[in-house]
Structure 1
């Protein structure tokens, strides 16, 4: 490990704080000592489809700056486009007009991410529709992402695609398939969910971090068990976190590691506090700048 390896920086996802107003959620995270936030564009926070998006984004940017919070923008809102279909329509939808709605959302999100000074914009492929063969699904994904990547390149915002269990693009190997299909564009990066690594990748999570390092633009983090896609609070799954955090430091990852607990939003402030305390304790003490046991105790 190099002496200038950065200490992991932690954020919390607003999809785990959906019962709070956005201003209150951001204030909570700053007060707890988080470095930043994973901001999901959704109707209860920064609605990407409501009027005056630019003005509302500007207000959020000022709030983030005043609180000293960094940000990544996430696009995993469940019903922001379709009130009846979770994550619908997707980039794989058989209807071209439906796919175009998702593409438009992502291009809007690129502009929001640029205006907020976000480190990256997150997205995912979606589930392969019934009756769609694999080759067709991959072609739809590549074609749909092409204009999004063009917008990302123009805005200077990395697009960080997330392998999601059950989706067409589910694994690190699938990410590389997309990357090669698109010609390895500069602004195509990876969102690595540490829990997903535990769930289904052949490598341990820390090894996944090292393998993904050249393309890593965004990290989500939570506990999980092998073979079960259920986001769990830290300590309730099987992941050994100190090696994961050491790997993030050693690979010089520059972004946030964002806690991803959307199904615990009913107790979001409680889990936000517990999560940061856990991650600070799990940060190896031999990393440059790591808090001592005394410092950890003073911040929780």
Structure 2
């Protein structure tokens, strides 16, 4: 039985004996008011939240953003929740085009709208004390050659990285299946193109590793360790980009969490179930015990969990 977010006392369960910190993404709780979603996650014992800026949850385009952000910051602090800011809202900029406009669009003014959203997200993240700002490249537009797309991406991200540097908030780019930047190798191509800026980090989605990376998810974590700034987690099948509840896919999670703990990663590992929002409270309640059980299966010792 999930406690009512309006009446619970927010007594947090004892932490699991490992260094990992788990969150849940608000893009999987879009049927809840943000305040109710945050209270729910605190009641369930989550360490934090992946906050997707969207029209129903801290709308980045509505008036008085700074004041509204301040209220959310106070609420997060009162609940003891960490936060990462995510920017994957489907229709926040264009009500007709999913994830549009992108950083790769042909029209400079369209790319500028996405850049504006991301720089605004950086400021929100700074005001919230967030661990990172997440973003992705977007799909290569029809008729755009690969070299042009990569050039647009690098140019568009430059002012965002400048803003992230000034704010002291890492920008964590996510390899996304079907996008220009789809794999870890693509992330490193971008990193080299931009001259390896300190503000540029990586969002690693564990399901995406299962979906299309040549390495296993655990090996992806080990390879990505030095650049990890944000982690998303869910189950998935090989070759099928469908975010699944834990146990419905093929991933063996204890080795993944063991590898993640061994990297020294200390920010949030956020459950990413954006297509399960209709039953979001149920999946939030089920996901955290699963992750704690998987984490408890990490062997003791220098390569496993800390005693």
Aligned counterpart, 2:74: 62
Normalising by structure 2, what TM-score?
0.92
Aligned counterpart, 1:114: 126
SS at match of 2:23: strand
The 2-side partners of 1:76 and 1:287 are apart by 37
Aligned pair 1:79/2:91, yes or no? yes
Aligned counterpart, 1:298: none
The 1-side partners of 2:99 and 2:251 are apart by 27
Q: Find 2:180's aligned residue among 131, 143, 168.
A: 168
Runs of 4+ in structure 1 deviating by more than 2 angstroms, as ranges, are 284-291
CA-CA distance at 1:286 after TM superposition? 3.5
The 2-side partners of 1:170 and 1:221 are apart by 16
Kept in 2, the 8 Å contact 1:110–1:121? The answer is yes
Aligned pair 1:237/2:241, yes or no? no
Aligned counterpart, 1:46: 58
Structure 2, unmatched stretches of 5+, are: 1-16
Aligned pair 1:209/2:234, yes or no? no
Aligned counterpart, 2:212: 200
Q: Find 1:178's aligned residue among 177, 190, 196.
A: 190
Kept in 1, the 8 Å contact 2:26–2:50? The answer is yes
Structure 1, unmatched stretches of 5+, are: 292-300
Aligned pair 1:158/2:138, yes or no? no
Give the RMSD, CA atoms, in angstroms: 1.4
The 1-side partners of 2:207 and 2:126 are apart by 28
Aligned counterpart, 1:28: 40
SS at match of 2:178: coil
Count of equivalent residues: 287
CA-CA distance at 1:8 after TM superposition? 1.2
Aligned pair 1:13/2:18, yes or no? no
What per-residue deviation string (whole Å, max 9, x for no partner) do you get for residues 250-269 of structure 1?
Answer: 11001110000000000000
SS at match of 1:122: strand
Aligned counterpart, 2:293: 281
Kept in 2, the 8 Å contact 1:6–1:253? The answer is no
The 2-side partners of 1:212 and 1:286 are apart by 21
Kept in 2, the 8 Å contact 1:38–1:72? The answer is yes
Aligned counterpart, 1:255: 267
What per-residue deviation string (whole Å, max 9, x for no partner) do you get for residues 188-246 of structure 1?
Answer: 00000000000000000000000000000000000000000000000000000000001
Change (3 A) 1:130 1:258: same
Normalising by structure 1, what TM-score?
0.94
The 2-side partners of 1:260 and 1:185 are apart by 27
